[in-house]
Every structure is written in structure tokens, then in C-alpha cells.
Amino acid sequence: MRAAGHGRVAWLGLLLGVAACTAPGPAPVSDRGASRTAASRPVTPQIAPSSNGLHTVQRGDTLYAIAFANGVDYREIAAWNRLESADRILVGQVLRLTPPPGAIEIKPLDDEPAPSARPLTEPPVLREPQAVLLAYSEANWAQVSGARPVTAVAAAAVKPVPVVAMPPAPAAISNVPVNEWLWPAGGKLAGFFGAAGGKGIDIVGQRNTPVVAVAPGKVVYSGSGLRGYGQLLIVKHAGEFLSAYAHNETLLVKEGDMVSAGQRIALMGDSDSDRVKLHFEIRRYGKPLDPLVYLPERS
């Protein structure tokens, strides 16, 4: 009887276990959306500020991004490494990020002091020109100019030089005054230039809020290769200005694209950030500037 009782208890426990497995209840939670988003973003080598003054080019790098990460003017890196074009660097190439001995520093013209006129220490001496009027002839012209007289045969042998049409100049970035630039996105201004070492401003908004180009320009970087910036766009404008748009959810343009002021170039996100926001920077000659000086006032 005791053995039979034990058998019934074991059988009842098995039935209860099966019922518990089939009973409705909350399923384990897994953030499939987050993993899918992370998987869809391209993983590229990260460009960090150099600690030894050198940078080895990796796939996806651009000279503009390397200069941006190191706070250097891209033209200086091109000059220091004797690059023929700022748009052509090779994977595996080692670039120096500091000037070689004897290098001439590139400075913007508007940073140089304006030239000032100096008065003469003594009045200029004016002399009347001494000239002799000669009748025109081949011999007199040869005497005055030192040229040999041109004979009729030699003159006939001279052929006119054909006029060669110059190729049209490449399309340049339109020069829009910086006081006519646009805001890059709508949202709440949350971070300011210089605060806690910030090199730009932060605009907090909703995910997928449109991000627009602040002025006409050329996209010189599009990717996620700069550490701390997430999905990043860098646009080059007239006057050697660069604008940067970081932490995007989606990039809508690629390197080499020409963009117009107000054109959608990205959607706001939180890539490499703890919240959804746009980190926006303006740089000139490699140096970060306060964007609020260049953007119009907001009501």
C-alpha cells in the first residue's frame, strides 16, 4: 500500500509539471528590435586621436575624418605627407599628423594682421624722362628694342598661334554667407559649446527627426568610424568650413554627394549616445567653433 501511495504521488507530480509547462504566462523578454538595429549598422574601424603623431589608414577612412578626429586642418596633413589630392589616401598608408622639420604652417589669410602703409622717410625724386623721337623703321625699332629686324620672308614664316579653349572650371561649392545658415534639426538645445569640453552643441529630439544640411556643400565623410560620434556626417562648405552631424539613426547621403541648404541628410538617433540627440559641430581650419555664433537666433 505504501509503494502504491508513492506511485500515485509521483504520477500526480508529473501531471502538475506538464500543466505548468503548458499554462499561459509571460514569455522571456528579449530586445529583438535593439539587436536588429545594432546588427544593421555597419561596423567600421574607429578613428581615435593619435598618441604618436601618426595614423595608419584603414578601409573607410578619409583625410577629412582623420583631420577631424585630431583637430588638424586636412590641408596641413596633405602638405606634410605630400599628397597629390585630399580625396586619395591608400589603405595601409602611414600619415604623419605633425609638421616635418622646416615645414611652413598653413594659416588662414583672415587671421593675419592687415598690412599698413608706411610714410616715406624722404620725398621721392622726380625726374623728367629723356627721350629722342625717331622715325619708325625696322632698323630704328631694332636699335631701341635690341631685336633683329624682321624681314619680309621671316614675317611670312611666322604662323599665328591657334587659340585653345580652356576647359570649364569644376563646379564650386556655392558661397553662402554664414549668417544665412540654417539650424540642422528641430528640438531642445541641451548641450553648449565649451561645456564639459564640448566641441559643439546638442539638440535633443525624437528618433527619426529630420537632420538637414545647414548650408550647401559636399559630403566628405559618411560612416561610423570616429569614436564617440556614432553614425556621422561631415559636410565641407565654402570658406573651409566643415559641419558635422553625429549620433544619427540613419544616414541619407554618401561621400561625394553635393547637398543643398535645408536638404535632409540624416535622421536623428542615439548611435554611440545615451539618448536620442544630434551633436552638431562647426569647424574651420581644423578648429572647433561655437555653432551658436553662426546659426540664426531661435524664437
| 76-100 pLDDT, tens digit each | 888 888 888 888 888 888 999 888 8
Beta strands in the chain (DSSP E): 54-56, 94-96, 188-191, 201-204, 210-212, 217-223, 231-237, 241-251, 258-259, 264-268, 277-284, 287-289
pLDDT of residue 163: 43
| Phi/psi at 247 (5° precision) | 70, 25
**Integer Cα distance of 180 and 19 in angstroms:** 70
pLDDT at 161 over 70: no
Confidence band for 217, pLDDT divided at 50, 70 and 90: very high
pLDDT of residue 32: 37
Give the chain's domains with CATH numbers: 54-98 (3.10.350.10), 178-294 (2.70.70.10)
pLDDT of residue 168: 43
pLDDT of residue 39: 42
pLDDT of residue 130: 59
Mean pLDDT of 262-272: 96
pLDDT at 41 over 90: no
**Integer Cα distance of 65 and 231 in angstroms:** 13
Mean pLDDT of 186-212: 91
Average pLDDT over the chain reads 75
Say which range, 5-9, 186-190, 226-230, has the weakest mean pLDDT: 5-9
Confidence band for 144, pLDDT divided at 50, 70 and 90: low
Helix (H, G, I), strand (E, B) or coil at 109: helix
Mean pLDDT of 162-185: 63
Residues of the chain with pLDDT > 90, as a percent, come to 33
Contact of 242 with 227, CB cutoff 8 Å: no
Beta bridge partners of 243: 235, 282
pLDDT of residue 51: 83
**Secondary structure (DSSP) of 192-239:** -TTGGG-SSEEEE--TT-EEE-SSSEEEEEEES-BTTT-EEEEEEEGG
Under 8 Å CB-to-CB from 264, ≥6 apart: which residues?
210, 211, 212, 252
pLDDT at 46 over 90: no
Span 204-216, pLDDT tens digits: 999 999 999 999 9
- Lookup: cell for 126: 622726380
Of 87, 62, 63, which Cα lies nearest the Cα of 77? 63
SS3 annotation, 237-252? EHHHEEEEEEEEEEEC
pLDDT of residue 252: 97
pLDDT of residue 17: 46
For residues 34 and 160, the model is more confident at 160
Under 8 Å CB-to-CB from 189, ≥6 apart: which residues?
201, 202, 203, 204, 298
Q: Count of residues for the chain? A: 299
Radius of gyration from C-alpha coordinates of the chain: 35
- Lookup: cell for 217: 556643400
